[in-house]
């Protein structure tokens, strides 16, 4: 037990690693105007991208957040930039027809390239790297299923991949736990804290007002406007955007009934030696496993650490218990690092949906982009731009994800009591495919 006590109690920080470089700091309080063109609720990627585009289009914008701007998942995530959903292309083509399935995946591809173009255009220094991703198969059946999932993406969309058989696995990831895997060579990764901060700075330079430490209590459509009640006063806006994803409050009833918040856990190791890092992640790729409820490992973009996570959706209790759980994951997957300590451990909230798809749309001047199912860097950023275009009535606002109904279930009010059970079911299903 001694090593575990060291991890939990000695020098670990229970906050996101990204905050060392980009801590969310509350803005000085602003006097809220009685009226804005657009009020954005939530200051993550979705909210900030929408604010940036709308402010540049000359609209008056206020971004409201109950915490310091960026304290939600935006500065807590793993920084993986990909172009997949929880449903494969083949599954979506089967369910929605070939054209619609392809439309979803083409838009994901656009979202991925859009983030990279935005980072370059806006000169956001967020350590963008394009070393690709390794998906580690958790069984022989998963290995075959991976190939079956990736091949239609290559055939229809030209997305490259390479299968890596088990005997060669160590050239991609320093673990013998898996059964080979697949490399997607062109996927990317970022420093999430620096990316969000850069996006926020650009939105502010464009004229968006940030009012953080301001809790929104009600958003009510009223004829041609929207009334927004906050703990710092009431304002009206011609349009409002709900960009609260996994932090959507119960008070936003229609939205809370459609998103399923679930907690994700992450940790950073202390600095590793160059040899340890090279052995663990030889090509500096991001790594995920092939399960529905993934374990994931990546090199930090700005230090010699590994950042990793897993056990999503199952509450682990105290921060020290989360750290112990994550250290157990490190020892299981990369036993050669068993003596390595953790420097940071943290959690954040993602949003699932009942159809495991992201959703975008609007009703009565209240617009939303929600339910990113663990892919909010590309999709949130992209939806922010789409929402800005929708509000301006531009054709670029069209989205394949606006065309499917946003489902809920009877009696669901936003309390995700069933998430741990659902996660255990997914784990059982994955084990069944072993």
Ligand X SMILES: Cc1cc2nc3c(=O)[nH]c(=O)nc-3n(C[C@H](O)[C@H](O)[C@H](O)COP(=O)(O)OP(=O)(O)OC[C@H]3O[C@@H](n4cnc5c(N)ncnc54)[C@H](O)[C@@H]3O)c2cc1C
Least CB distance to ligand X at residue 376 (A): 2
Q: Which stretch binds ligand X (CB under 6 A): 58-66, 84-92, 300-308, 386-394?
A: 58-66
In this complex, which beta carbon is closest to ligand X, that of residue 68 or of residue 91? 68
Which residues, other chains included, contact 337 with Cβ-Cβ below 8 Å and sequence gap of 6+?
A: 269, 272, 276, 280, 306, 330, 331
Output the 3-class SS for the chain.
Answer: CHHHHHHHHCCCECCCHHHHCCCCCCCCCCCCCCEEEEEEECCCHHHHHHHHHHHHCCCCEEEECCCCCCCCHHHCCCCEECCCCCCCHHHHHHHHCHHHHHHHHHHHHHHHHHHHHHHHHCCCCCCCECCCEEEECCCHHHHHHHHHHHHHHHHHHCCCCEEECHHHHHHCCCCCCCCCEEEECCCEECCHHHHHHHHHHHHHHCCCEEECCCCEEEEEEECCEEEEEECCEEEEEEEEEECCHHHCCCCCHHHHCCCEEEEEEEEEECCCCHHHHHHHCCCCCEEEECCCCCCEEEECCCCCCEEEECCCCCCCCCHHHHHHHHHHHHHHHCHHHCCCCEEEEEEEEEEECCCCCCEEEEECCEEEEECCCCCHHHHHHHHHHHHHHHHCCCHHHCCHHHCCCCCCCCCCCCCCCCHHHHHHHHHHHHHHCC
In this complex, which beta carbon is closest to ligand X, that of residue 33 or of residue 163? 33
Which residues, in sequence order, are bridge partners of residue 342? 269
CA distance 270 to 284: 17
Least CB distance to ligand X at residue 81 (A): 7
Which 68-87 positions form the footprint of ligand X (CB under 6 A)? 71-74, 76-80
Which 108-167 positions form the footprint of ligand X (CB under 6 A)? none
Provide the angle, in degrees to the nearest 10, between the axes of the packed helices 98-121 and 140-157. 80
In this complex, which beta carbon is closest to ligand X, that of residue 245 or of residue 290? 245
Count of residues interacting with ligand X (CB under 6 A): 41
In this complex, which beta carbon is closest to ligand X, that of residue 47 or of residue 101? 47
Least CB distance to ligand X at residue 265 (A): 7
Query: Binding ligand X by CB under 6 A: which of 376, 397, 414, 416?
Result: 376
In this complex, which beta carbon is closest to ligand X, that of residue 251 or of residue 407? 251
The 327-356 contact track toward ligand X, x by CB under 6 A, reads: ---------------------xxx------
Which residues, other chains included, contact 91 with Cβ-Cβ below 8 Å and sequence gap of 6+?
A: none
Least CB distance to ligand X at residue 66 (A): 4
Which 24-53 positions form the footprint of ligand X (CB under 6 A)? 41-47
Which 301-330 positions form the footprint of ligand X (CB under 6 A)? 309
The 253-272 contact track toward ligand X, x by CB under 6 A, reads: -----------x-x------
Query: Binding ligand X by CB under 6 A: which of 7, 137, 184, 216?
Result: 216
Least CB distance to ligand X at residue 392 (A): 20
Query: Binding ligand X by CB under 6 A: which of 67, 201, 271, 364?
Result: 67
Least CB distance to ligand X at residue 373 (A): 8
- If binding is defined by CB under 6 A, does position 375 make contact with ligand X? yes
- If binding is defined by CB under 6 A, does position 247 make contact with ligand X? yes
Q: Which residue is nearest to ligand X (CB)?
A: 376
In this complex, which beta carbon is closest to ligand X, that of residue 39 or of residue 182? 39
* 8 Å CB contact between 384 and 203: no
- If binding is defined by CB under 6 A, does position 390 make contact with ligand X? no
Least CB distance to ligand X at residue 245 (A): 3
Least CB distance to ligand X at residue 297 (A): 11
Least CB distance to ligand X at residue 307 (A): 9
Least CB distance to ligand X at residue 212 (A): 8
Which residues of this protein are in contact with ligand X, per CB under 6 A?
A: 41-47, 64-67, 71-74, 76-80, 215-216, 243-247, 249, 264, 266, 309, 348-350, 372, 374-378, 380
């Amino acid at each position: 037990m001694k090593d575990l006590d060291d991890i939990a109690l000695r020098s670990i920080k229970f906050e996101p690693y990204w905050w060392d470089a980009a801590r969310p700091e509350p803005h000085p309080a602003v006097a809220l105007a009685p009226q804005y063109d657009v009020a954005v609720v939530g200051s993550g990627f979705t909210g900030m991208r929408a604010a940036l585009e709308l402010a540049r289009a000359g609209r008056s914008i206020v971004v409201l957040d109950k915490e310091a701007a960026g304290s939600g998942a935006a500065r807590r995530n793993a920084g993986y930039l990909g172009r997949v959903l929880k449903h494969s292309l083949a599954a979506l083509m089967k369910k929605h027809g070939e054209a619609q399935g392809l439309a979803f995946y083409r838009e994901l591809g656009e979202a991925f390239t859009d983030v990279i173009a935005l980072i370059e255009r806006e000169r956001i220094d967020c350590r963008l790297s394009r070393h690709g991703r390794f998906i580690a198969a958790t069984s022989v059946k998963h290995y075959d299923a991976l190939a079956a999932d990736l091949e239609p993406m290559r055939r229809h969309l030209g997305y490259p991949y390479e299968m890596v058989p088990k005997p060669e696995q160590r050239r991609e990831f320093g673990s013998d736990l898996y059964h080979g895997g697949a490399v997607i060579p062109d996927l990317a990764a970022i420093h999430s804290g620096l990316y969000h901060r850069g996006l926020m700075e650009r939105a502010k330079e464009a004229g968006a007002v940030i009012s953080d430490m301001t809790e929104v209590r009600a958003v009510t459509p009223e004829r041609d406007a929207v009334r927004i009640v906050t703990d710092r006063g009431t304002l009206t806006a011609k349009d409002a955007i709900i960009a609260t994803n996994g932090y959507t409050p119960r008070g936003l009833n229609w939205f809370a009934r459609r998103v399923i918040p679930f907690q994700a856990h992450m940790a950073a190791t202390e600095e590793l030696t160059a040899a340890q890092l090279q052995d663990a992640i030889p090509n500096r790729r991001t790594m995920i496993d092939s399960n529905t409820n993934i374990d994931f490992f990546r090199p930090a973009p700005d230090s010699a650490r590994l950042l990793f996570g897993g056990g999503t959706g199952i509450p682990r209790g105290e921060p020290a218990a989360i750290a112990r759980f994550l250290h157990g994951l490190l020892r299981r997957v990369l036993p050669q690092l068993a003596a390595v300590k953790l420097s940071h451990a943290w959690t954040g909230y993602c949003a699932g949906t009942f159809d495991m798809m992201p959703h975008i749309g609007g009703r009565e001047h209240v617009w939303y982009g929600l339910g990113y199912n663990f892919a909010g860097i590309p999709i949130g950023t992209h939806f922010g731009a789409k929402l800005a275009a929708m509000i301006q009535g531009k054709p670029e606002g069209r989205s394949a994800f606006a065309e499917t109904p946003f489902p809920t279930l009877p009696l669901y009010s936003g309390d995700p009591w069933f998430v741990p059970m659902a996660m255990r079911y997914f784990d059982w299903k994955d084990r069944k495919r072993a």
